[in-house]
Chain A
Amino acid sequence: MTFELSYDSKKRLVIGGVLVAVAGWIMVDAMAGGAEHWGRVLVRLPLLLTGQGDGWPITGGFALNILLSIASMAMATVLGTLLGISTLAQSPYLRLPAFFIMNFLRNSPWLVLLFAMLFILPFQVEIFGLRIPFPPFVKAVIGLALPTAANLSEVVRGAVQSIHSGQWEAARALGYTTPQIYRHVILPQALRRMIPGWMNLYALLTIATALATVTGIQDVLTILNTSLAMESERVLVYFYLTTLFLFFAYCYPIAIFARRLERAVKGDNI
């Protein structure tokens, strides 16, 4: 009795084997005294996830990272779409500044930009007597949204340019104005092609939220450092592995899904 395994299933078997081996190694390590260390991690896990020892209410931790990524992505989506369309504008007065801003933001390191935003943005702004405070969280959102917006503008640009020029001509012949063409003709079609790039960028942004620790908000890295200060040095590895795993567990499914969508979108021609 023989049966042949396909290449992909053999590969999956090896990956499964490696995961089992890692799990086995963790078990062996746990027998050899690691269980105590994992116990410490377990005690601190609610703190790492939500910023509270009891797990409720959510004041920080990994939940704050996710909140930060969602807020930044929302802001970056609006800014990036505007910036991307501006780089395609006919008028050089709009196109060239947009190009300059896009390249400046794309070429600046996320960490440095975040630091710069921390100092450039005031603690609060006063508009018409209305005081809008800028807590570190808002600064982190803006600091992370800016480079994401610049990268997204590139995605938007590519998607808009991939729409056949016949669509533009047809819409113009029907008397649509440029904003109307974008809103009713181009963007609805380009949206479908933007989604994989948008999702990839979201995964990248979530990974970059680890940098927000420099703004002093109670994100997972800040809490990791404060809890490590309370623990013995021997548990360091276990805490770092747990935090790395948190990011991986959140970002990997998104990356996989984005890749699947990318393949699905690649084939269609509008």
Chain B
Amino acid sequence: MFGLDYSWLADPAYQSWLVTGVINTLELAALSSSVAILIGMLGALGLSLRVFWLDALIELFVEVFRNTPPLLQMLFAYFTLSTLGLETTDPVTGLKMPLLSAFACACISLSLFGGALAIEAFRSGLETMPKAITEAGRSLGYSRWARFWRIEVPIASRVCLPSLTNILTNLFKTTSQASVITVPELMYYAGQIYNDTFRTLEVMILILIIYVVLVSILSYGMSRLEAYLTLPGYGKEQ
């Protein structure tokens, strides 16, 4: 079809590369998304405390990570964390090894990047909280933490689900950039396969389709979750 040659797909070696790539991509995305959501929640909680120095530090963190390329952040993490002294000695060979693998560096930098975006999303979710609700919680004797965890998070997380969906899909797409620091995820194996077969066009089209399908599943799942979690009176009318 269209003069494209997909005969290389029959090779079990390439098939296993693709499967490993997808699994590693999913792993990287799942790990960094969960940490990013955690950072987002903690950051938004920190902002809601209205402590000026905490507020300032969180704002600095968000702005730095939002306004620099994630690719550069990842390269920075990968190349500099080892030169800054984070090294261990391999017990078997006695050679100096960086303490953090490429996967760990990608995970850390993606989590921080996603976390910076998530803080912004959760903050706007908390800001739309009607004052009456938190006041009601206060009059019922909820502590600050209980109010945050039992009242504000359940409501705010529903309000900011659409923007969270955007962030998670964005983060998932950004995992492809981890291939630059040799994390063996889907995009990395794509390079391996076309270096082997020289079928660059065919490989890239297939990889593009795999990514689009995976991201579509993610955003479809998130929209189902959104529909499932809707509270009457919040968000779109069904």
Contacts and interface: CB of A to CB of B under 8 A. Distances in A.
26 contacts: A11-B53, A11-B55, A14-B53, A15-B56, A18-B57, A18-B60, A103-B216, A107-B173, A107-B219, A109-B172, A109-B187, A111-B177, A112-B208, A115-B204, A116-B204, A116-B205, A119-B200, A207-B69, A210-B69, A236-B80, A241-B76, A244-B68, A244-B76, A247-B68, A252-B63, A255-B66
User: What are the 5 A-B residue pairs with the smallest beta carbon separation, nearest first?
Assistant: A210-B69, A14-B56, A109-B173, A107-B215, A109-B176
Interface residues of B, number: 45
Contacts of A10: 52-53
Contacts of A132: none
A110 interface: yes
Contacts of A11: 52-53, 55-56, 59
B38 interface: no
A110 B173 contact: yes
A94 to B, nearest CB: 22
Given A10-B52, A108-B208, A120-B201, 8 more contacts: A7-B52, A109-B177, A110-B173, A112-B211, A244-B76, A247-B67, A247-B69, A252-B67
Contact of B72 (A15, A107, A244): A244
Contacts of A233: 83
Contacts of B55: 11
Given A221-B72, A236-B80, A255 B67 contact: yes
Interface string A26-48: 00000000000000000000000
A120 B205 CA distance: 9
B110 interface: no
B222 interface: no
Interface of B: 50, 52-53, 55-57, 59-60, 63-64, 66-73, 75-76, 79-80, 83-84, 169, 172-177, 179, 187, 190, 200-201, 204-205, 207-208, 211-212, 215-216, 219
A155 interface: no
Contact of A207 (B56, B68, B169): B68
A59 interface: no
A251 B201 CA distance: 33
A157 to B, nearest CB: 14
Interface in A56-106: 103-104
Interface centre among B66, B70, B208 (most CB of A within 10 A): B208
B67 A248 contact: yes
A258 to B, nearest CB: 11
A12 B64 CA distance: 16
A116 B205 CA distance: 6
Contacts of B211: 107-109, 112
A207 B67 CA distance: 7
Given A7-B52, A210-B69, A210-B71, A112 B76 contact: no
A229 B134 CA distance: 57
Nearest to B194: A119
B63 to A, nearest CB: 6
Nearest to A209: B69
A106 to B, nearest CB: 8
A112 B57 contact: no
Contacts of B169: 107
Nearest to A210: B69
A108 B215 contact: yes
Interface in A227-248: 233-234, 236-237, 240-241, 243-244, 247-248
